[in-house]
Amino acid sequence: MAKYIIRGGKKLEGKIEAESAKNAVLPLLAAACLTDEEVIIKNCPPILDVVSMVNILKELGVKVRYEGKNLIVDASSMHSYSIPYSLSKELRSSVFMLGALISRFKSAEASYPGGCDIGLRPIDLHLAGLKQMGVRVGEFGGEIVCKADKLTGGDIYFDFPSVGATENIMLAAVLAEGRTVIHNAAKEPEVEDLQQFINSMGGKVSGAGSSVITVDGVKRLHGTEYKPIFDRIEAGTYLVAAAATGGNIEISNCNPEKISALLHKLCENTCKITLNNDIIYLKSGSVRKSFNIETLPYPGFPTDMQAQMVALAAVSNGISVIRENIFETRFRHVRELNRMGANIVVKDRVAIVSGVKELSGAKVTAHDLRGGAALIVAGLNARGVTVIDDIRHVERGYYKPEEKFRMLGADFEKL
Ligand code: UD1
């Protein structure tokens, strides 16, 4: 199994470019199945989650190919609405296919989706929304079977602004009869990106980025060429890693406004942040200071940056208190960080982090995607050698981190 070997203690210095967002590309791939015309999604890194989603599409008869980093999707020969268990279990986003498949075939079959083991992650909101649109949903031994005579719009209220459920209902509603209004919708930038993508295909969606999204059903969608939004979590991970090493970096291809909750926390940590159009410059302060965080739906602090910030807090002066409000069991990185000399206590959903001067290298295991990223941040800070096992989790969401970190001067190998 592949591992990362990091010899820490080097300040990160230099420039990199942010990739397209994993969490934008995945629903876009589902949306691309709603037309028989060619769709080009530009600058898609072939990270493992994208590869898994492409495999699902291919299994359903969609032609997908890479040209450089562009993904070309042609769903004209799509013939199946049934996603096998072996593919559903690979990633959470297989659930988006329910909305797209029911829209296209009036039938969809899938297993309960996989993804990071960070909490219960039910899909009740997705299914309740689909039911309101006229879908009959059956659940048998982990399999979900959806059927509809026709899909009709209506008012859908979410108890919680779930990102995936919002996107799934948008996908189901684009070609449905009439108007669908999603209340208490997720406001994440990737939801806005899906709206822009659907509209570039001739859809009629408005309101994304606010808590009410309106979808007016259209008869058909056409092909498009589209560049997804930058990956705010990838960019954020590199910024946090630079801060943990006392480095200075710049990242281009960003929309800084979409990452401002993180940038404010990095300023509290005494980093100096400068913005110039799509470029974020980070200059570390001389002393790292503790900070408190509560993860919240956007525009609050993103849960996907919590683990990396725990690693930064572990080497920041004073006590940081970090509360995880979105997922129930998203602190599995803490045990690994403590093996590296961190001083962190977790009580229910709160991590109390007493900063130490520096960490020391150790053999550790990535248990999930962002938890793995936190171990990289820690390894870059640590004295000595850190070996990270099970890096397939990291490769689900980060494109060639070994090369990007080496470009920033890190001693970072993939074995
Ligand atoms: C998406 C992101 C993930 C991010 C998360 C929160 C993708 C591919 N993944 O995941 O990286 O961490 O948003 O920003 O975009 N919930 C329910 N019932 C449902 C759906 C969700 O109870 O039907 C709960 C979940 O268990 C969780 C919370 O709502 O506690 C947030 O989940 P949600 O916003 O749906 O996250 P995902 O779409 O899975």
The predicted pLDDT at position 119 comes to 63
Give catalytic residues, as residue numbers: 116
Write the residue with the smallest CA distance to atom 13 of ligand 1.
163
- Of 144, 162, 130, 170, which Cα lies nearest the Cα of 34? 170
Asked if 33 contacts 198 with a C-beta cutoff of 8 angstroms, the reply is no
* 0.85 surpassed by pTM: yes
- Each residue's pLDDT tens digit, 100-152: 999 999 999 998 876 666 666 789 999 999 999 999 999 887 889 999 999 99
Query: Which of 52, 61, 59 has the alpha carbon at shortest distance from 89?
Result: 52
Q: pLDDT value at position 255?
A: 97
Give the pLDDT score at 114.
Answer: 66
Q: What pLDDT is recorded for position 141?
A: 79
Pull the structure tokens for residue 319.
Answer: 């006590």
Is the pLDDT at 390 greater than 90? The verdict is yes
- Give the mean model confidence (pLDDT) for residues 365-370: 95
DSSP-assigned states of every residue in 151-218: -B--EEE-SS--HHHHHHHHHHHTTSBSEEEEES----HHHHHHHHHHHHTT-EEE-BTBSEEEEE--
What residue's CA is closest to ligand 1, atom 11? 304
pLDDT at 94: 83
Q: Tens of pLDDT along 291-329?
A: 999 999 999 999 999 999 999 999 999 999 999 999 988
Task: Give the distance (Å) from ligand 1 centre to CA of residue 163.
Answer: 6
What's the mean pLDDT in 26-46?
97
Q: What is the pLDDT of residue 113?
A: 74
Average pLDDT rounded to a whole number, residues 86-99 = 85
* pLDDT at site 313: 98
Ligand 1: does its nearest atom lie under 6 Å from the Cβ of 326? yes
CA dist., res. 283 & res. 199, Å (int): 39
Confidence class for position 166, pLDDT limits 50, 70, 90: very high
| Residue range 269-273: mean pLDDT, rounded | 97
292: amino acid identity, one letter = N
pLDDT average, residue stretch 51-75: 96
- Identify whether the C-beta of residue 301 lies closer than 8 Å to the C-beta of residue 312: no
73 lines ligand 1 (CB under 6 A): no
Q: Give the closest residue (by CA) to ligand 1 atom 29.
A: 162
